[in-house]
C-alpha cells in the first residue's frame, strides 16, 4: 500500500475537500440549470418570435457561447492560482458565478424588452463562463494536493459528488416548479432557481474563507524563489511538457459531452421531438444527481486501486455504448424507462469519467503549473465538447429527419479520441515533490514523460 494510504483526513484536509466540493456544486448547478432552461424554457422566453427549431438552436447557441470564455478564464485564473495562491481564485470565481447566474434570473422576457433580452442573456452567460473557467482547476488542485497518498482519486471524486448535489438541487427545483401552471412557470417559476444561486455562493464563501494553500504549493514556490530569484511562470511550466497539455484537452472531450448529450439534449429531444412534459426529464436529472453523489466516490476509490487511466477508458467505452439504448428508452415516453435511460446513459459510465478526470489532470502537471494545466485541459475540452454538444446534436437530428443515429456516431467518435489520448498521456499518480524544482534543485527527474 502506498505511504499514507491508511491515513485519514485531518481537519484542514476536510475543510479543503468541503470547500472544493461546494464550488464544484455551484459550477455544475449553474451550468446544469442553464442547460435545463435552454432546453425547455429559454426558447419560449427569449426567442419566442422564432420558428421552434430556430428558437431551440438559438437557445443552445447562447449555451455554447458561455463555454467560449471558459478557456480565457481558465488561463487567467490558473495563472493567478499558480502565482498568488489557490484560495484567491476559489473565492473570486464562486462570487462571480453566483452573481452572473442570479442576474440571468432577473432578465425580462423578449416580449417586454425586445432584442435586449437575448443580448443581456448572452452577456450574463459570458460572465458565467469566465468565472467558471477558473473554478475546477483551483478546486481540483487544492483538493488533490491536500488528499492523503493512495486516496487522491477518492477525495478528488468528491468534487463530482458536489456536481451530483447540483443535479439534485437544479433538477429538483425545476421539476417541482415545472408542475405549477405552465404560464406561471414560463413567466416567473423558472427564475427562482437562478436567483437561488446567490445563496449557494454565500455558503461557498463561508466554507472557503479559512482555506489554506497546500504545503506542496508553498514549498514549491519557496524552492523556485531560492533557485531562480523569481516565481515560476505557470504557462511556461505547463508547456514545458507540451504533450500533456494537448492530451489533457483531448482526454476531457468525452466526459465533457456525456451529461450534455444525455441529460441536456436528451431533455430537448423528449420535449421537442417526443412532446413529453419537461418535468419528467427534470425529475430524472434529480434522480441522476442522487446516484451521482454515491457513484462518483466509488469510481474514485476504484481508480486508486486499478489506476486513473483504466477507469477513464472504461468510462469512455461504456458511455459510447450506452447512448443509443438511452435514447431508445427516451422514445418510449414511459417515465420509468426515461429515468432508466438517463441512469444508463450518464450515471454508470459518464460519472466514471467525471470522477476520474480532475485527479488525473492534476497528476499530469507539476505543482508550479498544476492549476493552469488542469484549467487548460478541462476548460478547452468543455468548450470544444460540452459547450457545442447540444447544438451539434440538435442540428444532426434535424438534418437526419429526427433519427438519432448521427448522435450515436458523434458520441462514439469523441469517446475513441478520449481513449487514445488517455493511453498516450503521461500520468504520475501520487507523486509528492516540487515538480520542475527537482530538475533545478533536488535531482534529475527520472521518467517524467515515460
In this prediction, residues 290-308 reach a mean pLDDT of 94
Residue 142, exposed/middle/buried by CB under 10 A (0-12, 13-18, 19+)? Answer: buried
Contacts of 147 (CB under 8 A, 6+ apart): 9, 13, 17, 154, 155, 156
pLDDT winner (highest mean) among 18-27, 105-114, 201-210, 263-272: 105-114
Comparing 52 with 330, which gets the higher pLDDT?
330
Best CA proximity match to 402, nearest among 269, 280, 262, 276: 269
Give me the pLDDT at residue 429, please. Answer: 63
Taking domain 11-442, whether its CATH number is 1.20.1260.10 is answered by no
Domain residue ranges in the chain: 11-442
**E strand or H helix at 326, and its extent?**
helix 308-331
Show the cell assigned to 170.
437544479
Comparing 351 with 51, which gets the higher pLDDT?
351
pLDDT tens readout for residues 310-330: 999 999 999 999 999 999 999
pLDDT at 439 over 60: no
Comparing 232 with 166, which gets the higher pLDDT?
166
pLDDT at 334 over 50: yes
pLDDT at 220 over 70: no
What sign results for the dihedral spanned by CA atoms 391, 394, 396, 399? negative
CA distances from 216 to 20, 23, 87, 425, 429 (A): 17, 22, 14, 23, 15
pLDDT tens readout for residues 59-76: 888 888 888 888 888 888
Cα distance between residue 162 and residue 44, in whole Å: 30
Give me the pLDDT at residue 382, please. Answer: 85
pLDDT tens readout for residues 347-381: 999 999 999 998 999 888 877 778 888 888 888 89
In this prediction, residues 79-94 reach a mean pLDDT of 81
Query: Measured in whole angstroms, how far is the alpha carbon of residue 197 from the centre of its chain?
Result: 17
For 363-444, where are the alpha helices, taking DSSP H only? 370-381, 389-399, 405-424, 436-437
Helix (H, G, I), strand (E, B) or coil at 91: helix
Q: In the structure, what pLDDT confidence band is assigned to residue 8 with cuts at 50, 70 and 90? A: low
pLDDT tens readout for residues 397-408: 999 988 999 999
Show the cell assigned to 219.
514549498
pLDDT winner (highest mean) among 103-112, 156-165, 220-229: 103-112
Give backbone dihedrals phi and psi of 338, rounded to 5 degrees, phi first: -60, -45
Give me the pLDDT at residue 77, please. Answer: 84
Comparing 431 with 417, which gets the higher pLDDT?
417
Cα distance between residue 342 and residue 193, in whole Å: 22
Amino acid at each position: 500500500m502506498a505511504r499514507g494510504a491508511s491515513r485519514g483526513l485531518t481537519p484542514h484536509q476536510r475543510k479543503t475537500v468541503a470547500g472544493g466540493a461546494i464550488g464544484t456544486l455551484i459550477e455544475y448547478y449553474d451550468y446544469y440549470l442553464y442547460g435545463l432552461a435552454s432546453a425547455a424554457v429559454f426558447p419560449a422566453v427569449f426567442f419566442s418570435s422564432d420558428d421552434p427549431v430556430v428558437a431551440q438552436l438559438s437557445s443552445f447557441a447562447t449555451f455554447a457561447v458561455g463555454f467560449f470564455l471558459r478557456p480565457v478564464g481558465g488561463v487567467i485564473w490558473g495563472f493567478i492560482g499558480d502565482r498568488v495562491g489557490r484560495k484567491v481564485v476559489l473565492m473570486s470565481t464562486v462570487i462571480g458565478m453566483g452573481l452572473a447566474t442570479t442576474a440571468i434570473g432577473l432578465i425580462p422576457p423578449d416580449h417586454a424588452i425586445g432584442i435586449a433580452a437575448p443580448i443581456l442573456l448572452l452577456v450574463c452567460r459570458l460572465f458565467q463562463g469566465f468565472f467558471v473557467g477558473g473554478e475546477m482547476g483551483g478546486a481540483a488542485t487544492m483538493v488533490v494536493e491536500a488528499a492523503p497518498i493512495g486516496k487522491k482519486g477518492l477525495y478528488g471524486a468528491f468534487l463530482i459528488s458536489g456536481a451530483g448535489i447540483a443535479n439534485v438541487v437544479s433538477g429538483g427545483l425545476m421539476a417541482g416548479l415545472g408542475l405549477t401552471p405552465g404560464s406561471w412557470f414560463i413567466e416567473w417559476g423558472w427564475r427562482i432557481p437562478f436567483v437561488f444561486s446567490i445563496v449557494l455562493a454565500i455558503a461557498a464563501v463561508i466554507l472557503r474563507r479559512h482555506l489554506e494553500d497546500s504545503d506542496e504549493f508553498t514549498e514549491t514556490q519557496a524552492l523556485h524563489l531560492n533557485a531562480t530569484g523569481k516565481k515560476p511562470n505557470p504557462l511556461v511550466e505547463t508547456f514545458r511538457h507540451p504533450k500533456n497539455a494537448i492530451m489533457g484537452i483531448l482526454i476531457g472531450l468525452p466526459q465533457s459531452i456525456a451529461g450534455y448529450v444525455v441529460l441536456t439534449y436528451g431533455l430537448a429531444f423528449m420535449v421537442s421531438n417526443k412532446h413529453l412534459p419537461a418535468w419528467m426529464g427534470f425529475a430524472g436529472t434529480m434522480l441522476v444527481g442522487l446516484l451521482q453523489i454515491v457513484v462518483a466516490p466509488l469510481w474514485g476509490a476504484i481508480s486508486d486501486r486499478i489506476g486513473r487511466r483504466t477507469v477513464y477508458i472504461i468510462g469512455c467505452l461504456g458511455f459510447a455504448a450506452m447512448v443509443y439504448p438511452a435514447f431508445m428508452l427516451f422514445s418510449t415516453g414511459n417515465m420509468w424507462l426515461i429515468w432508466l435511460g438517463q441512469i444508463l446513459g450518464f450515471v454508470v459510465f459518464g460519472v466514471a469519467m467525471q470522477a476520474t478526470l480532475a485527479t488525473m489532470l492534476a497528476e499530469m502537471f507539476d505543482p508550479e503549473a498544476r492549476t493552469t494545466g488542469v484549467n487548460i485541459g478541462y476548460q478547452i475540452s468543455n468548450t470544444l465538447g460540452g459547450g457545442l454538444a447540444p447544438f451539434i446534436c440538435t442540428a444532426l437530428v434535424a438534418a437526419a429527419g429526427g433519427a438519432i443515429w448521427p448522435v450515436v456516431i458523434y458520441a462514439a467518435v469523441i469517446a475513441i479520441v478520449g481513449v487514445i489520448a488517455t493511453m498516450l498521456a503521461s500520468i504520475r499518480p501520487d507523486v509528492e515533490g516540487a515538480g520542475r524544482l527537482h530538475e533545478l534543485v533536488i535531482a534529475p527527474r527520472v521518467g517524467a514523460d515515460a
